[in-house]
Structure 1
Amino acid sequence: MKKILIAVTAIIMSACNPTLTPFTFIYNDEGPNEEIARKMEELLEREFYNVDIQLIKGASTNAILDSISSGNVDIGLVENYVNYKPGINSAFSVYSEVLHIFYQEGVDGSSFETLAYSAPVYIGREESPTYNMMMDLFDFYGLDLSKIDVTFNMAEAGTISVLTNLFTKEKLQEFQGFNLFSFDDVDNLGNASSVEGISLKNPRLSPFVIPEKAYWSFTKTPIVTLSVDLIMIVRAEMLEVSVNDFTKTMLRNRQVFTSIDPLLFNGLREDFNQGILNIPLHEGARTFLDRDEPSFLERYAELGGVALSIVIAIFSGIVSLTKWQAQKKKDKIDEFYEDLMNIKNTIPKISGIPEAIKNVKRVQAAQNKAFEMLIAEKLVANDSFRIYMELSKETINELRGKMRIIKAKKASTTS
């Protein structure tokens, strides 16, 4: 009898302690990312009794992408300002991170150019999202990098760039003696302002306004700046049901995250713009986000067979013209790709800085021409166009890297 009771107890205990399914979650320690990750861990483990979320802290952006792309980690948080890597999918947008540029009193903050040249500039850790964004801004304004004193020590800087959530009053105390830079006057928004030009060439960035008085003495007038979305990414091979459940749980419990930052309330939305994602959406997230969307036939079934026949007839009539136009535009973007690949193939052979600068200007001129053709509707803003723009930015970064190597070699030879 005793043996039977022991066996029954063991069976009951095993039933009450099911095997946990582990998921690894990686994030960097910038801004409120750690607090967001911990809230997500608590929420998922509370909602799913058989889930065990293991947090990994302090990784760089590249390390996060590499660990998920290689399949070693399941979930991560990164800015929507990273290049696509195979093996990674998006799940949803978390919230908008805001670019804050503080400059000391006495530094000329009348324009972005004078701001960059007037004092040492802190732009975050090398290859961090803040660093990459500021380098793109230097490029957009056509600044000479050799004249910009970039520092990685915030204490030495007269200008400090920070990509993060909204600041609390206590956090702003660290910037006493500083002013907050505004890219433009708020009245210029919607009238071809500078931030709209930046967003046109860097479509993952969006204009953002910090309202008057929102930051007390720092915002005596509205501050016009830029924002980029923090997104949740997942391993591409992760099960659809898991991604679907996780996405649904976090988006439907967004109130849990609003204590971290007000921006999360508007960021964690089921109706966020999927078109802004720089990394393709995971099918598990897509099935949740699009679950209530009726198909074309379901929405217009009442129009009957006649309406459907008309649509099919019109479609059949224009399909040939559409294909011809698409092929014509594709041939044009292929010419840009061919020229860009020729430049990329010559980078290892470049031996002088003037040659590298010449190629940077050549790529930038091609970018401008592509945008002009896009505006004139001679090119289409499809995936090929977006990939070309990302590849051209990557080529410019490679050329700049080559310049740094050449400078270093010359310096070592001189010494």
Structure 2
Amino acid sequence: MKKLIHVTLAILLLASCNPTTLRFSFIYNNEGPNKEIATKMKDLLESEFNVEIMLIEGMNTNANLDSLINDQVDIALVENYVNYQDGLNSAFSVYSEVLHVLYKDHVDASSFESLMYSGPLYIGREGSPTYNLMMDLWDYYGLDYSVPVVTFDMQEADVVVELTNLFSKKHLDEYKGFRLFSFDDASNVSDASTVQGITLKYPRLSPFIIPENSYWSFNEKPIVTLSVDLVMMVRSKMGEVAVNDFTKTMLRNRQIFTSIDPLLFDGMKEDFDQAKLNIPLHEGARIFLDREEPSFIERYAELGGVILSIIIALWSGIVSLTKWQAQKKKDKIDEFYEDLMNIKNGIARIDTVAEGMKRVKRVQLSQNKAFEMLIAEKLVANDSFRIYMELSKETINELRGKMRILKSKQERATS
């Protein structure tokens, strides 16, 4: 009997030790401090759990997302500037990446347009978050994308764009002879400012002000620019327990990461704005983040009876009025959808660059008209409106792709 007890205890002890090592793969773009962040995350998780994390340097954002969707990797650091896709979920916001637009002294920086047309531009690798963001800014400002001279050699550029963390003194020393571009004057930043207009059309972006003298002589005045959140994303099929444990561990040890950049102090918080995530939360992360949230009934139990009485009294009239208004606005957004689908379905038949550009301008005019109607409260900013804006951006990207193919064919034909 005593021997049986000893064997049983030994089995229980071995089981509790969980000798099986779980392996996960973690992909990132080697831009800014991403590699350092991923390395610290790997070290933390391996020290806390019986896991092995394999770090992979990715090619670009789209390739990294494909790896997640196809279950080839488990975790990725990705900017919150991608369209929703099945197969991936967010875990938490890491920090805000800041858009830095630097230009040489001789460049005309009187406006964003003149800056982009002034000389060789470095806007990151094609398909990178910086590149994709700049393409959207070119669309916003109505630039002819064939005019700017893009170089992939930073040393040749008169204008350099980086979407990254706050610059260190050492990093700034690499930009001697450059200045920082500001999208607006800091005193003008309000609901009517340039950056607010950009973020209205591209809501995953946020206005960002680099305070006066933060970069020493580089900004004797505040710099008005944009930022986008870097998010830890996971594949949807990853287990809830693992995502919950990883999210909890990293957010509760965020002090480890703040030495990388001050922006991580404000970024890695449990109370980050989940509504801004373009990719919905993984259930494992949601369980952790919402663990202490009281239910609606618990929070408003004392007022529940009064509120319920008021709702019942007003419900019938509100429902009727809401349905009438919603149907009226839905009919209008349907007209935009119909025109957009006609353009989208006709992309395959476009045979000249000029025709493609004409279609792009047509979509952009429709976007502007939709925003004007939204401001005039003739449309509502609901899911249908947001889906229309996403679909219109996707259509513009498809048109640009078609135009690049046509332009390439023309160049081959003439050479």
TM class, shorter-length: over 0.9
Report the more deviating stretch, 322-331 or 399-408.
322-331
C-alpha deviations, 1:162-200, integer Å up to 9, x for none?
110011101111101111111111111015121111111
Report the more deviating stretch, 167-176 or 145-154.
145-154
* Counterpart position of 2:3: none
Report the RMSD for the aligned CA atoms in angstroms: 2.2
* Counterpart position of 1:35: 36
Residues 70, 304 of structure 1: CA spacing in aligned structure 2 closer, same or farther, 3 A cutoff? Answer: closer
* Counterpart position of 2:112: 112
Residues 404, 59 of structure 1: CA spacing in aligned structure 2 closer, same or farther, 3 A cutoff? Answer: closer
Percent of pairs identical after alignment? 71
Matched AA of 1:21:
L
Residues 187, 311 of structure 1: CA spacing in aligned structure 2 closer, same or farther, 3 A cutoff? Answer: same
Offset at residue 315 of structure 1 (A):
3.7
Residues 152, 74 of structure 1: CA spacing in aligned structure 2 closer, same or farther, 3 A cutoff? Answer: same
Is the Cα contact below 8 Å between 1:123 and 1:150 reproduced in 2?
A: yes
Offset at residue 296 of structure 1 (A):
2.6
Residues 306, 209 of structure 1: CA spacing in aligned structure 2 closer, same or farther, 3 A cutoff? Answer: closer
Is the Cα contact below 8 Å between 2:108 and 2:115 reproduced in 1?
A: yes
C-alpha deviations, 1:203-245, integer Å up to 9, x for none?
1111111111111110111111111110111111222222222
**What residue ranges of structure 2 are gaps of 5+ in the alignment?**
1-5
* Counterpart position of 1:361: 361
Offset at residue 127 of structure 1 (A):
1.3
Pair 1:242-2:231 in alignment: no
* Counterpart position of 2:196: 196
**What residue ranges of structure 1 are gaps of 5+ in the alignment?**
none
- Whole-Å Cα distance in 2 between the matches of residues 273 and 8 of structure 1? 47
- Whole-Å Cα distance in 2 between the matches of residues 59 and 145 of structure 1? 24
TM-score (norm 2): 0.93
TM-score (norm 1): 0.93
- Whole-Å Cα distance in 2 between the matches of residues 314 and 249 of structure 1? 47
Is the Cα contact below 8 Å between 1:240 and 1:283 reproduced in 2?
A: yes
Is the Cα contact below 8 Å between 2:58 and 2:64 reproduced in 1?
A: no
* Counterpart position of 1:140: 140
Report the more deviating stretch, 138-147 or 158-167.
138-147
Matched AA of 2:40:
K
Offset at residue 14 of structure 1 (A):
7.8
Offset at residue 319 of structure 1 (A):
3.0
Offset at residue 88 of structure 1 (A):
0.9
Matched residue count: 410
Pair 1:172-2:172 in alignment: yes
- Whole-Å Cα distance in 2 between the matches of residues 136 and 28 of structure 1? 20
Equivalent residues in 2 for 1:158-307, closer than 5 Å: 158-190=158-190, 192-303=192-303, 305-307=305-307
Residues 405, 90 of structure 1: CA spacing in aligned structure 2 closer, same or farther, 3 A cutoff? Answer: same
* Counterpart position of 2:70: 70
Residues 218, 397 of structure 1: CA spacing in aligned structure 2 closer, same or farther, 3 A cutoff? Answer: same
C-alpha deviations, 1:350-409, integer Å up to 9, x for none?
011221111111100110111112112222222322222122112112112222222221
Matched AA of 1:35:
E
